[in-house]
Chain A
Amino acid sequence: MIRFENASVTYPGGVHALKNITLEIPDGQMMVIVGLSGAGKSTLIRAINGLVPLSAGDVTIDSVSVRHAKPKQLREIRSRIGMIFQTFNLVNRTTVLNNVLMGRLHDAGTLRSLLAWYKPEDVEIAMQALERVGIVEKAYVRASNLSGGQQQRVGIARALAQQPTIILADEPVASLDPPTSHVVMRDLQRINRDLNMTTIINLHFLDLAKVYGERIIGMRAGELVYDGTGSEADENVFRDIYGRSLTADDMLGEAAAAG
């Protein structure tokens, strides 16, 4: 279970990105965070794996404090949390497999990993991760030669290769076209259901959030302004979260087909 206890983040410029957040995310939940850009969605997600340090309060994962973890402990915590990014964050110049094997670095031994002399087990875990997102045949292709949707699936495979218990996804479909967005969201949904991984996703398209979010939380100016199920979240709720009336730009459009 992930717990936020009065967690606050103040950036060096003085921006209060998170204000006194208290939140519990039970194991295996698929939770979507919505809100305008700058509302603190990315900060909330990065507070979970300590990429953004808290300035007050704490985040605990299975009762272990992220804020007070020593560097080694923090790496251990991070190794159990897979992360997926808006811009994929792949190394374009190297192969898909090498990118996915990045998810094994925490466990593969420093000397072996330095020399790219991976154990067959680690390579097999990476291959299985690629299989799960359906692009195992691209293992030896350069990452830059894939389409956007394929690159994001490599990003997902990299996270899966960590064999994590939690998946964090920061705007995973914001760089993709609508049909590909649904493919990637369905991949995430399937992983959440099949592997029972807690999945936390930032989205700014409200229709996607409603379709895929088992639970939706809304953020505005660093504060939690909504916490409920996807079916409860109607237009009024979203208007409240956004602090303005909704427009077509807030929807991905194209009839959502949940699997």
Chain B
Amino acid sequence: MTAATAPRSARPSRPPRSIVGPLGFLVFLAITWWASSEEFGLGVDIPRLVANLTRGADILAEFWPPDFSVVPRTIGPMLETIQIAVIASLIGCALALPIAFLASRVTSPNVATYLVDRGVLSVVRALPDVLYALIFVAALSIGPLPGILALILFNIAVVAKLLSETVDGVDPGPLEAARASGANRLLTVRWAVLPQVLPNYVAYSLYAFELNIRASAVLGIVGAGGIGNLINEYRRFFQYDNLLMVVIEILLLVIIVEWISIWLRRKLV
């Protein structure tokens, strides 16, 4: 036993427990109560919810069985949804690349550029994509273009944010080497930083494309093109069996795109 030979030194006393954790949990409970209470909030009544659970069954029953005969009619809008996602991903992710470099302290030419870029990104990220689609539909017209524009903004916000944070964490060694060699800022970014973050950039872009497929299904509901237009139509005319068919198609598309994306991302690592 080697431990016996070493003299026992005094153990440090345990620091007092932090109350931040339990306190935070209490605050969380209080807010939940506030949000769901009858007087101040939404008045969530769980017993009534359970009692009425069966009422929706009649409506849900109208969804079944899905009507396969509408499939030919959905092909066009489905394709449009995919096209919207592809175009918006390509343009949005391409624009996000330089914006991300300007939004990182490591690669931004000066503090002013960095702060302005960060600020603009925060504002763009603050609004949901459906709201952008509504604005563009109002400003332009009904159709795929407002959908594409809304998703481009969304992609810039998401990819530039994620990528700029990755750039913040790159190994500064190659940057110092490039600077020491007399390379200008642009080439330093191109050859010392970009190779380090390229796999992340591709992964984020694929992720953005996945989100775009999902989002462009919804954007059509506000008139921004794609399969959402059809969803809206079936919903308004209570053609729930058609609606279920469309939901199944979207589900399949999203799953397939996700599989491909996951497979590609795994190849990158």
The interface of chain A, by Cβ under 8 A from chain B, is 49, 51, 75-83, 85, 87-91, 93-94, 98, 101-103, 105-106, 110, 113-114, 155, 158-159, 162, 168
Contacts and interface: CB of A to CB of B under 8 A. Distances in A.
B175 to A, nearest CB: 8
Given A88-B173, A91-B191, A113-B191, A78 B180 contact: yes
Contacts of B188: 105
Given A98-B195, A103-B181, A168-B180, 4 more contacts: A78-B179, A85-B176, A85-B177, A93-B196
B191 to A, nearest CB: 5
A106 B183 contact: yes
Tell me the dominant secondary structure on chain B's binding face.
helix
Contact of B186 (A51, A93, A114, A168): A114
Nearest to B172: A89
Given A79-B181, A81-B180, A89 B187 contact: no
Contact of A90 (B174, B183, B184, B190): B174
Contacts of A89: 173-174, 176-177
A162 B182 contact: yes
Contacts of B181: 78-79, 82-83, 102-103, 105-106, 158-159, 162
B178 interface: yes
A93 B182 contact: no
Contacts of A159: 181
Interface of B: 173-174, 176-184, 186-188, 190-192, 195-196, 198-199
Nearest to B190: A114
3 smallest A-B Cβ distances: which pairs? Answer: A79-B182, A89-B173, A106-B182
Given A78-B181, A93-B195, A106-B181, A113 B187 contact: yes
A81 B182 CA distance: 8
Contacts, number: 83
A92 B49 CA distance: 58
A94 B174 CA distance: 12
Nearest to A72: B184
Contacts of B191: 91, 98, 101-102, 105, 113
Contacts of A93: 195-196, 198-199
B142 to A, nearest CB: 40
B173 A113 contact: no
10 contacts: A51-B180, A75-B184, A90-B174, A91-B192, A91-B195, A91-B196, A102-B181, A106-B182, A110-B186, A168-B180
A49 B176 CA distance: 11
Nearest to A51: B180
Nearest to A74: B182
Contacts of A78: 179-182
B178 A105 contact: yes
Contacts of B198: 93
A80 B190 CA distance: 21
Contacts of B178: 102, 105
Given A98-B191, A102-B191, A110-B187, A87 B182 contact: no
A106 B184 CA distance: 7
Contacts of B174: 89-91, 102
A110 B189 CA distance: 12
A85 B192 CA distance: 15
A79 B178 CA distance: 10
Contacts of B179: 51, 78
A193 B140 CA distance: 71
A84 B48 CA distance: 73
B183 A102 contact: yes
A105 B177 contact: no
B195 A105 contact: no
A25 to B, nearest CB: 18
A101 B181 CA distance: 11
A103 B191 CA distance: 11
A98 to B, nearest CB: 7
Contact of B182 (A75, A85, A88): A75
A234 B45 CA distance: 88
The interface centre, meaning the residue of B181, B191, B192, B196 with most chain A CB atoms within 10 A of its CB, is B181
A110 B185 CA distance: 10
A113 B190 contact: yes
Contacts of B186: 110, 114
Nearest to B180: A83
A32 to B, nearest CB: 20
A94 B183 CA distance: 18
A77 B182 CA distance: 7
B187 A105 contact: yes
A110 B173 CA distance: 22
Contact of A105 (B173, B176, B183, B199): B183
Nearest to B178: A102
